[in-house]
Amino acid sequence: MTQRLFGTDGIRAPFGSFPLDRPTVTALAVELARILRASHPRPLVVLGGDPRDSTPEICRWLAAGLTAAGARHVFVGVLPTPGIAWLARRLAAAAAISVSASHNPHPDNGIKLIGGDGFKWSPEAEAELEARLLQTPPPAVPAAARDLEVDDGARALYLDWLAASVPPAGLAGLKVVLDAANGAASGLAAPLLRGLGAEVTSIHDRPDGRNINQGCGSTHPEVVAAATVEHGAALGVAFDGDVDRAILADESGAVRDGDAMLYLWARAVRRAGELEPAAIVATSMSNLGLERALAGDGIAVVRCEVGDRAVVATMRARGIVLGGEQSGHLVHLGLTTTGDGLLTALQMARLVAAAGEPLARLLAGFQRYPQLLRNVRVPSKEPLERLPRVAAARRRVEERLGGDGRLVLRYSGTEPLARIMIEGPDEASIQRMADEIEHAIREDLEGTETRNADLEVRSPELGAGS
């Protein structure tokens, strides 16, 4: 193995190609079991994933490798990644593995490693495992495990815990539209909310192994938004494939992203006296309007790097209970360890039902600043602070924005792109500022091929994902 295994969120690739080929997956399971056995004589690993047609096969490869190296496993079948993380703690497991490519389309799949404490493995732990795989001769590939028997009791534990997070009949009479993305929420989300009294319309909940995230779910929130209006619902919720995120739509059909949900949730937790310190964690991409809106309630916003692992790490380091991303990864550490779309949906529905007011009115205090995102393709990632024209343009833009906007300039972690994000009082001015910075990037990289890869101006109503 000479290529990288782990990316920004575990392993992700087309099924059957490196690193989601049988030898690599099996070797990973063997080495994982060896690491776990250093602190657990017979480590237990929770194993499950989303409903892609390749998930059962990958789980069989993992089970075979774990067994060959002396580890035990419990297979929970199709279950959200946050459910698998929750079960790791509940079952006192040494680790858990979620087989999923999250919001990616078929035929991609992936592997997410979770510790026995329910938190995702750190990048450092993944790097150590990767290094051991590089240094260790590949093991003999054991025969793939036969069809794995699903432990439905483990799944029931997770669903019962979710239901208990809302008062009995706490959603009585609330009309909700759920878009399950033909993913792991299918067959789970609708019964869960109905059991709490909600009137549920469920769409895209018929997975066939290949239609996950296909024109639906959190990557296409306009679909649930239209269905929410069509059915006269109080809110709509769109999940992604492995249900670690959720996006809302209000009764008017406006899409409400993670920033809007953080605003609503943070104010409720603050009113309940459970937001101590009075702060939340959001990424550098969260809208400035979130800071301004929460400041009125005495709630600070602590910024961190993009990524749900960075959010959780910052929360734990600062002792902050609530945080999340625009993409809908929200975490309440008093309840769970990772983004849980089902938990988020329940909490948002509970707040709307308890208030007896439309969601749009509950969010009236959150005014989003116009935001522009632009990606500029670059041939190399020279430190931005060492590019003189870029540094000068950056200073000029920040001076013009003053306290009425924000500039975030960074490289993509996975693609050859410089990312420009500007928020300001109006779209015309932030367009001109982005042009100035893009021109500076091109000038500093003169003689190399650069081109504008993508341009998107996010309206104040729609917001942006991470």
pLDDT digits (tens, 9 = 90+) for 174-220: 999 999 999 999 999 999 999 999 999 999 999 999 999 999 999 99
Percent of the chain topping pLDDT 70: 94
**Of 112, 455, 458, 157, nearest in space to 308 by CA:** 112
- Average pLDDT score over residue span 307-312: 94
Sorting pLDDT into bands at 50, 70 and 90, what band is 413?
A: confident
- The region of weakest confidence among 242-256, 358-372, 434-448 is 434-448
Residue 137 lies in a domain: yes
User: Which residue segment(s) compose the domain that 95 sits in?
Assistant: 11-152
CA pair distance 411, 441, nearest whole angstrom = 12
Segment 405-421 mean pLDDT: 89
What is the rounded distance in angstroms from the CA atom of residue 430 to the CA atom of residue 397? 9
Output the pLDDT for position 175.
98
In a domain, 29, yes or no: yes
How many domains does the structure of the chain reveal?
Answer: 3
Q: Does the residue 1 lie in any domain?
A: no
Residues 148 and 169 in one domain: no
Q: What is the mean pLDDT of residues 139-164?
A: 89
Query: What pLDDT is stored for residue 141 in this prediction?
Result: 76
State the CB neighbour count (10 A cutoff) for residue 79.
28
- Are both 79 and 207 inside the same structural domain? no
Amino acid letter, residue 422: I
Active site residue 286: no
- The residue annotated as part of the active site, out of 102, 186, 202, 466, is 102
Considering 336, 362, 388, which residue would you say is the last residue of a domain?
Answer: 362
Give the per-residue pLDDT at 136: 80
Q: 305: buried, middle or exposed (CB in 10 Å: 19+, 13-18, 0-12)? A: middle
Residue 2, domain member (yes or no): no
What is the three-class DSSP state of 70?
Answer: coil
CATH number of the domain bearing residue 264: 3.40.120.10
Co-location of 279 and 402 in the same domain: no
**Domain assignment present for 246:** yes
Residue 404's CATH number: 3.30.310.50
Does one domain contain both 116 and 220? no
Cis ω for the linkage preceding 207 (within 30 of 0): no
| Residue 214 φ/ψ, nearest 5 degrees | -85, 95
Does 41 reside within a domain?
A: yes
Question: Quick one: pLDDT at residue 257?
Answer: 97
User: Residue 117: is it exposed, middle or buried by C-beta count within 10 angstroms (0-12/13-18/19+)?
Assistant: exposed
What confidence score (pLDDT) does residue 456 get? 46
Which one of 333, 362, 391 terminates a domain?
Answer: 362
pLDDT tens for each residue of 241-296: 999 999 999 999 999 999 999 999 999 999 999 999 999 999 998 999 999 999 99
Please say whether the beta carbons of 12 and 108 come within 8 A: yes
- Same domain? For 212 and 137 the reply is no
pLDDT confidence of 3, banded at 50, 70, 90? low
Higher pLDDT, 384 or 2: 384
